[in-house]
Structure 1
């Protein structure tokens, strides 16, 4: 019976893996877009990081509405709808390029983020519920490999199209480089939306499935989502995590350029960070839960992040760049470990809890902007990385104590 259940889970996990691949492609191309738009529109650091702000702030604004949509549509139809919204966002890039409008590009990124909000709100708890809780981090790590593989491909492919070769003196000619890639991406997203809608492989699962019967007795006594400290602290920890993840992944190209590396060389630095994350995911799959617990790996990741950040700030040249890339390894398993710990015991509150966790992704909107503001104000992209230390410290607190709290 257990074997049959695992076989029933295999097809849905493959489909969700494809969706994580798509999410990775459109998310991690932002690091390339930041450098591309900075040059094309002659932006400072703060303005260039509006790319991540526009993209990730939609998670805060749309997470609760996304959970409401999913209650009406279910997981499968919600995922299909999300892909169509993302396609609308990528399509906006075409008139934005024609009009040479940075603001319209930001609207496109915000729209993509709306679609991703629905997709994330559906897919993450789906993977958590679809199997034993103690191995949830392992399943999400597999999804993470698909996500970061797509990120590496997007930075290499799109980076070669947007950042490689001679730069035109005419910004309009530069911006026209995005038209073909984003038309192709729009077509892929629409095609996937249709396939998901027609697929019989995605089964609907109930959020109550993820909680043992013994835990459900506790859940019945609670009437508000805010009565779960492990969730609320988890939201803050996830805000901190996405903040450091996006800073490490999306600032590294600009950081390399600021240190004197040529764009042709620096455009690949983001792939080093994503490669580090992939290695961390693979290690997590091997170690969790057989050799180390989810919370144990989470704690290790936070401590490593603190150490590597300090080394990055005090080292020089490529060594410092490499340290920022190593943060990818440190960050890898924080996301997969956070989700099951934060959602533990929520039962019927799982979907709204997932929506609150998705709101924590706004760390990717706010913290890179804070980083850029600090870099501009002190004139140092390197010392601005100090902003990551308090974020890792809170993640460490959650790994030590926060996830265990069941009452305030």
Structure 2
């Protein structure tokens, strides 16, 4: 029952089947990105519709991503029991339920019900991510894993560029800028009526999303995606792991999970806070809505660099080191630089563009960590992948810490939270991934 009878070894697939499999998984990554990165618009949107503080508005990210902490390990056991494809079907069905929960939440304008819907969406994504990421890591040569993950990243972040723009186009109106300004002066009855109308705009989009997700859940079962045998070990790996009984006996994996936690936290802060940061300089939502897309566009630039250069020009571990150092430099630039610039027709403080440039710094960190952290796990691969997916709960906690610091100090100084994160990522890239056993002095 540990794996499907039809499971095959990744190295037994011919090139055609490998690329078909990667194409299907790429579609999954597009869906991950679309559903995940729409939060960049939901956060400021809900902040207005429910008159929230910075901290409370980032509960959107918390509710969505805390599900990864709760569901990742159960997801690995689900995948062992029913296989990758049926597991993915259950993931899509859970996401569809989460999307449908938005309908009663909007009808009652109840923030807590929206958070339940977001948690349910995240639960489905946790299952899908636990299945999809090992596929990409093991379908092909180990030294090209970062290159394959970069290709998947283009699907993911390409959807992330489209999601805020499409969602904003669907739910925002030309006259909303004036409406947002008038809310403070409205009477209670008039204000509630305006906010009810504002929040009701999510009903149709999420009803459509839920239906599409249901259909995808059915389609994935009948897709040509093969069941991959992750239990097989080479003789060398089997010998190295012969005395190991626990996932905690792989330090490079555990340290990698911490790295994933911090990396995704820095990534979501760069994308989900940039609109609020622009607002602090007087740039309204209607104009600032493009900044998350710019951040993701720089991420795609990084992916393209990775695809073209790994491993022919530079190794995946060295490009990981470069990206983590860049993140450290850009963080300090956000905090310590200032001055007006006009870029792409938008006049803003130069520090906003360093937030945008974090997209480039973050681009190849995920791709660099995964193959290093899963290296040599053999039969522990599924569970190891679920531990790394648990690290995605960094998306839940890090924005809350940022929001707390923003309320306590200001939105610029709150970016200090990124600095120790990038320092740890530099450590993992330089040394942490090499630690194969715990040593006690």
TM-score (normalised: structure 1): 0.97
Where do 1:370-385 residues align within 5 Å?
370-378=401-409, 380-385=410-415
Render the CA deviation track for 1:328-374: whole Å, top value 9, x for unaligned. Answer: 01001100111110000100001111111111111100010000000
Q: Looking at CA atoms only, which structure, 1 or 2, has the larger radius of gyration?
A: 2
Partner of 1:327: 358
Measured after TM superposition, the shift of residue 382 of structure 1 is 0.7
* Counterpart-to-counterpart distance in 2, 1:263 and 1:162: 12
Partner of 1:239: 261
Partner of 1:31: 40
Measured after TM superposition, the shift of residue 304 of structure 1 is 0.1
Higher fraction of helix: 1
Is residue 21 of structure 2 the alignment partner of residue 12 of structure 1? yes
Q: Indicate how the Cα distance of structure 1 residues 270 and 3 shifts in structure 2: closer, same or farther if over 3 A, else same.
A: same
* Counterpart-to-counterpart distance in 2, 1:259 and 1:138: 38
CA contact (8 A) 1:243 1:367 kept: yes
Measured after TM superposition, the shift of residue 8 of structure 1 is 1.4
Partner of 1:191: 215
Partner of 1:224: 246
Measured after TM superposition, the shift of residue 213 of structure 1 is 3.3
CA contact (8 A) 1:38 1:48 kept: yes
* Counterpart-to-counterpart distance in 1, 2:29 and 2:172: 25
CA contact (8 A) 1:36 1:163 kept: no
Unaligned 5+ segments in structure 2 are 1-10, 180-190, 339-347
* Counterpart-to-counterpart distance in 1, 2:267 and 2:254: 20
Render the CA deviation track for 1:121-149: whole Å, top value 9, x for unaligned. Answer: 00001111111111111111111000011
Render the CA deviation track for 1:179-209: whole Å, top value 9, x for unaligned. Answer: 111111111111111110112x110111145
* Counterpart-to-counterpart distance in 1, 2:314 and 2:237: 23
Partner of 2:230: 207
* Counterpart-to-counterpart distance in 2, 1:50 and 1:165: 28
What do you get for the CA RMSD once the two structures are aligned? 1.3
CA contact (8 A) 1:163 1:263 kept: no
* Counterpart-to-counterpart distance in 1, 2:349 and 2:372: 36
* Counterpart-to-counterpart distance in 2, 1:4 and 1:385: 46
* Counterpart-to-counterpart distance in 2, 1:3 and 1:203: 11
Paired residue total: 404
Partner of 1:301: 323
Unaligned 5+ segments in structure 1 are none
Counterpart pick for 1:289 among 297, 307, 311:
311
* Counterpart-to-counterpart distance in 2, 1:365 and 1:193: 26
Is residue 382 of structure 2 the alignment partner of residue 341 of structure 1? no
Q: Indicate how the Cα distance of structure 1 residues 205 and 37 shifts in structure 2: closer, same or farther if over 3 A, else same.
A: same
* Counterpart-to-counterpart distance in 2, 1:213 and 1:265: 58
* Counterpart-to-counterpart distance in 2, 1:241 and 1:4: 32
CA contact (8 A) 1:32 1:159 kept: yes
CA contact (8 A) 1:207 1:350 kept: yes
Is residue 92 of structure 2 the alignment partner of residue 83 of structure 1? yes
Where do 1:26-65 residues align within 5 Å?
26-65=35-74
Counterpart pick for 1:390 among 420, 425, 440:
420
Where do 1:134-149 residues align within 5 Å?
134-149=143-158
Query: What secondary structure sits across from 2:225 in the alignment?
Result: coil
Query: What secondary structure sits across from 1:220 in the alignment?
Result: coil
Measured after TM superposition, the shift of residue 110 of structure 1 is 0.2
Render the CA deviation track for 1:76-130: whole Å, top value 9, x for unaligned. Answer: 1111110110010011001100000010000000000000000000000111111
* Counterpart-to-counterpart distance in 2, 1:314 and 1:195: 50
TM-score (normalised: structure 2): 0.90
CA contact (8 A) 1:82 1:116 kept: yes
